Amino acid sequence: MPEKNVFLGELTRKELEESISNGTVEGAIVPTGALEQHQDHLAMIHDTASVTEIAERTARQFYPHVLVTPTVSMSVSEHHMAHGGALTIRPEIFLEYVYDVCHSLKRLGVPKVMVLNGHGGNMRQSLEPKAPDQIKKLDDLGVIYITYWKTCPESFYEQNLELERSAGHAGEFETSFAMVAFPHRIRQDQINYENAKLASIPKGGYILNAVLDGVAEQVCQMLGR
């Protein structure tokens, strides 16, 4: 097992039971990504890979008190079906699935649960009008639902990015992030999108640090620290 493993799925039954029963585990992160087109230069797994990276790095800051579940890797991407590739899940089905994962954690005895979203189609404000009953079920369960790039203040984007003021799709933000986190998933010779041409490794470093700080702050609040 890797040092400072934070992935729930890498634990044995006995290890998980002991860490919950003795109070070591205080919370869990449920990452949600997507499988959809990211222009011609980024892999379709980008949202899933990025939110998994952020969840792991954040949980390691709280080791051994926060676990990370397997990432929900396909979600609400209907708006990308006409743009060359996606696998999409209906909003109510996606949220029911996420609810069942969170409910399972609660049944196991994990006291605090956070859904860490890494995809625009999964943002709460996008899903609530389409599936209000499912959102309410998550709220009633006491689940915190956040989108990672929303944890950065607006001033961060103004100070560190030239064009984008959020996590633009396959653009300056996401391509810079990929340059730092998983450069092997970039097709450098296929960067034709103008926003993506502004991406750089230094920007990727700033982005990674900023989102880790933002998500860690949310975890601190979740744990009551």
pLDDT at 83 exceeding the cut of 90: no
Using pLDDT thresholds of 50, 70 and 90, give the confidence band for residue 1.
very low
For the stretch 185-211, pLDDT in tens is 999 999 999 999 999 999 999 999 999
pTM listed for this prediction: 0.96
Closest CA to 40 of 161, 180, 171: 171
pLDDT for position 84:
79
Closest CA to 94 of 78, 81, 75, 80: 75
Closest CA to 115 of 90, 94, 131: 94
pLDDT at 23 exceeding the cut of 90: yes
User: Which burial class, exposed, middle or buried, applies to 47 when counting CB atoms under 10 A from its CB (0-12, 13-18, 19+)?
Assistant: buried
pLDDT at 3 exceeding the cut of 80: no
What are the beta bridge partners of residue 35? 87
State the average pLDDT over residues 48-75. Answer: 98
> Running DSSP on this structure, what letter comes out for residue 215?
H
Q: What is the mean pLDDT of the chain?
A: 96
For the stretch 148-172, pLDDT in tens is 999 999 999 999 999 999 999 999 9
CATH for the stretch 19-223: 3.40.50.10310
HEC string for 3-64: CCCCEHHHCCHHHHHHHHHCCCCCEEEEEECCEECECECECCCHHHHHHHHHHHHHHHHCCC
